Amino acid sequence: MSEENFPSDRYGPAERRMAEALVDLERRTLRAGEDAEACECREGMFPSLSRRGLLAGGVALGAAFAGNAVRADAPPGSVDYPVQPDPTREQGRMILDDGGYGSRSQFENEVRWRYPTDSLDSSWSMTPLASGQGIITPSGLHFERHHGGIPTIDPERHSLIVHGMVDRPLSLTVADLKRMPSVSRLHFIECSGNGLTEWVKPTLRTVQGTHGLTSTSEWTGVALSTVLREAGVQDGAAWILAEGSDAAVMTRSCPIDKAMDDAILAYAQNGEALRPEQGYPLRLLLPGFEGNTHIKWLRRLDVSDKPFMTREETSKYTDLMPDGKARIFTLDMDAKSVITFPSGAMKLPKPGFYEVSGLAWSGRGKVAKVEVSVDGGKTWTEAPLQEPVISKCHTRFRLPWVWDGTEAVLQSRCTDETGYLQPALKDLVAVRGTNSVYHLNAIQSWHVAPTGEVTNVHA
């Protein structure tokens, strides 16, 4: 299947190996869930995740939980309590039984999927978008991308150095940053590799697989412009290098205009400290830029008059075009949307009313409009956007739909505030060619069969 699914003119051997392993993982996870009961409730439409499914998904379930009544098979992040036959007739359990930090219901078992790679510490994990609600991704389900594992960093021993073309080089601790004026903003992060299996033919079956490398959090920190003003950026400065303190020592260059515009030195996520996976204790947030530039475990900023041409912006994260030249510094994430319900591997129990729902986003600003088609793009209906609609943030759209029980192809397309319209795949390929894998933002199609089965198709 390898050459057929992931042809070598587009996929390098490493990318192909990873993509194949992901396809295999998704199949095993879905198969393991198939023995779970089908019901006609909304949940029944989702490919169910049994415990075996979780294991096939490569999720580590070995972690011990602090609670008392813990059974070993409670889903990750939950505590397994005995179910009360009639909760109105006996006292509920006491508060703080969980040690004072809450857990989710033992009946919820959505988890991130690990994007299988040769080594466990250089990998991705993907957000389960199909079961997501609203626009915020729970911190424990935020997608991850690590090039050298997740470092464990003591914030007291961590600092951020600001140097190069500045009048006053700085060394700031996390505590120093927390004393400065702060900002809190909701933004998505999307890995530019999101969807890389989907260029040639529909390959993964679920929206978690096809689109799960994007998530939204509320990020809190100090505006990078505040720190740069403190340091005094010199005339002629044009780029700034950000460096992480993980084993990958990830480095990316960022234009100084962006740094002075809406960049954030983030120490918090969804109201608490960053998760270690998201860069604890400090990460760079470059709203709307490709995920790779949002350097985690940030330790150094070097101001310069030119880009640094690091590995990540020369060998990786460039897009080889049909004329043999490569686009570099394709930093903005183009407008994109996807229907998350219904989506691949679900099964609609019967004809009738459904609320089609999904996410739209743009790295260039606000989502202006989302249109939905149920006939493979022949006709489009504008879908109302759920407030709030925030710049460079996931935006939820919903559209009532009465399914008549015949074949349907569901699609969504997003227009952002710059007027850019999300392209069809063939139009994207016509411009970009078939040499590169990053930045796939084409319209996604879900086929609904008369049986109610939903599958990933190219339409």
Ligand X SMILES: Nc1nc2c(c(=O)[nH]1)N[C@H]1C(S)=C(S)[C@@H](COP(=O)(O)O)O[C@H]1N2
Q: Does 147 help bind ligand X (rule: CB under 6 A)? A: yes
CB 290 within 8 Å of CB 268 = no
Nearest distance from residue 18's CB to Mo ion, in Å? 12
Q: Looking at beta carbons only, is 125 or 270 nearer to Mo ion?
A: 125
Residues 214 and 188: their CA atoms lie apart, in Å, by 7
The structure tokens listed for 432 are 């970009």
CB 261 within 8 Å of CB 332 = no
Strand, helix or coil for residue 174: helix
Q: Looking at beta carbons only, is 76 or 195 nearer to Mo ion?
A: 195
Bridge partners (DSSP) listed for residue 120: none
Q: Looking at beta carbons only, is 30 or 265 nearer to ligand X?
A: 265
The burial of 226, by beta-carbon neighbours within 10 Å (0-12 exposed, 13-18 middle, 19 or more buried), is given as middle
Contacting ligand X (CB under 6 A), which of 112, 185, 296, 413? Answer: 296
Q: Looking at beta carbons only, is 81 or 219 nearer to ligand X?
A: 219
Q: Taking every pair of C-alpha atoms in the chain, what is the biggest distance, in angstroms?
A: 73
Contacting ligand X (CB under 6 A), which of 49, 153, 248, 268? Answer: 248
The CB density around residue 235, as the number of other CB atoms within 10 Å, is: 6
Residues 333-362 vs ligand X: string with x where CB under 6 A? ------------------------------
Q: Which residue carries 């857990």 as its tokens?
A: 103
| Site size for Mo ion (CB under 5 A) | 4
Whole-angstrom Cα Rg for the chain? 23
Q: Does 144 help bind ligand X (rule: CB under 6 A)? A: yes
CB 269 within 8 Å of CB 275 = yes
Q: What amino acid occupies position 102?
A: G
Residues 181-220 vs ligand X: string with x where CB under 6 A? --------x-x-----------------------------
Q: Does 403 help bind ligand X (rule: CB under 6 A)? A: no
Strands (E), 118-194: 123-126, 144-146, 159-164, 170-173, 183-190
CB 169 within 8 Å of CB 231 = yes
Bridge partners (DSSP) listed for residue 446: 410, 456
Nearest distance from residue 169's CB to ligand X, in Å? 22
Query: Which of 349, 290, 359 lies closest to 318 in space, CA to CA?
Result: 290
Q: Does 158 help bind ligand X (rule: CB under 6 A)? A: no
Q: Does 291 help bind Mo ion (rule: CB under 5 A)? A: yes
Nearest distance from residue 333's CB to ligand X, in Å? 11
Q: Does 300 help bind ligand X (rule: CB under 6 A)? A: no
Nearest distance from residue 310's CB to ligand X, in Å? 12
When CB distances to ligand X are compared, the closest residue is: 244
Piece in contact with ligand X (CB under 6 A), picked from 74-82, 87-95, 140-148, 231-239:
140-148
Residues 309 and 307: their CA atoms lie apart, in Å, by 6
153-212: contacts with Mo ion (CB under 5 A): 191
Nearest distance from residue 191's CB to ligand X, in Å? 3
Q: Which residues bind Mo ion (CB under 5 A)?
A: 145, 191, 291-292
Q: Which residues bind ligand X (CB under 6 A)?
A: 142-147, 189, 191, 244, 246, 248, 250, 277-278, 291-292, 294-297
